[in-house]
Amino acid sequence: MKPITLADLRQLKKEKHKFATITAYDASFAQLFAEQGINVMLIGDSLGMTVQGFDSTLPVTVEDISYHTRSVRTGVSHAFLIADMPFMSYATPEQSFDNAAVLMRAGANMVKIEGGDWLCDTVKMLTERAVPVCGHLGLTPQSVNVLGGYKVQGRSEDSAQKLLNDAIALEKAGMQLLVLECVPTELARRVTEALEIPVIGIGAGNLTDGQILVMHDALGITARAPKFAKDFLKETGNIRDAIRLYIEQVESGIYPSEEHSFK
């Protein structure tokens, strides 16, 4: 299959064709997801909780993400892979250069970093050095200790405007994708319409360009799944049908429904 590129994702946004993405951590699941039609996958630092059993993403290292990125790339050659830059791996531009290089060599097409306009210089410099960047705004799990827990973000007008300003600034700096996590649907709509780049939501309503779920949430494995998650395996009885249903409901706008979103 022809490799998926950022140009393909921009075209989907232009055509208003919603797309589904999912986390992947190994070759077997990556291949299964690709066979069902998932063309974008995230090697997320969520593996700290889903694979390693920690209570946050903070213990995850660059070496962990690199290992799992190599594993996923072995399973899929055409998919667009986004690799998370873990906690404190991009605290300075110099750190980000070295660590992003490790992940790109492991098979990633893009790296993802969490944070607002303070990252503009890093985004600009990474992009200039041939490393595409995906931003992550809203609930940023690496900042759980600053945020005081896993809480919905952007509910006040001031915080919503700050998030929108951050998104616009990061796009101007060179960001080419954005993940919005746990924000009200209306704010997600405002951000999606303000940006030319694709916006992928998770707990951000159904008005973004794409959706992403942690695979363990989508398959009902997580013991205490978040409000925005849906167990597609429960509805279908087998993993392949569950992934196809997830894709269908994202593309049609059925998922996420109001019960999976925030006001």
Half-sphere exposure of 83 (CA within 13 A, CB side): 32
What are the tens digits of pLDDT across the range 113-131?
999 999 999 999 999 999 9
From the list 15, 94, 157, 181, the catalytic residue is 181
Question: Bridge-partner residues for 137, per DSSP?
Answer: 180
At residue 261, the pLDDT reads 92
At residue 147, the pLDDT reads 73
Q: Are strands 177-181 and 199-202 parallel, antiparallel or unpaired?
A: parallel
Is residue 205 a contact partner of residue 188, using CB atoms and an 8 Å limit? yes
At residue 1, the pLDDT reads 83
Q: How confident is the model at residue 90 (pLDDT cuts 50, 70, 90)?
A: very high
Average pLDDT, the chain: 96
At residue 15, the pLDDT reads 97
What are the tens digits of pLDDT across the range 42-82?
999 999 999 999 999 999 999 999 999 999 999 999 999 99
At residue 143, the pLDDT reads 84
Own/partner long-range contacts of 31-36 (Cβ < 8 Å, ≥24 apart):
31/75, 31/76, 32/239, 32/240, 32/243, 33/76, 33/79, 33/215, 33/243, 34/75, 34/76, 34/78, 34/79, 35/240, 36/240, 36/243, 36/244, 36/247
What six digits make up the tokens of 167?
Answer: 């998104």
Report the percentage of the chain scoring pLDDT > 90: 93
Q: Which domains does the chain have, with CATH numbers?
A: 6-260 (3.20.20.60)
At residue 41, the pLDDT reads 98
* 94 counts as catalytic: no
What are the tens digits of pLDDT across the range 143-181?
877 777 677 899 999 999 999 999 999 999 999 999 999
Kindly report the pTM of this predicted structure.
0.96
- Range with the poorest average pLDDT among 1-5, 14-18, 244-248: 1-5
Is residue 209 a contact partner of residue 232, using CB atoms and an 8 Å limit? no
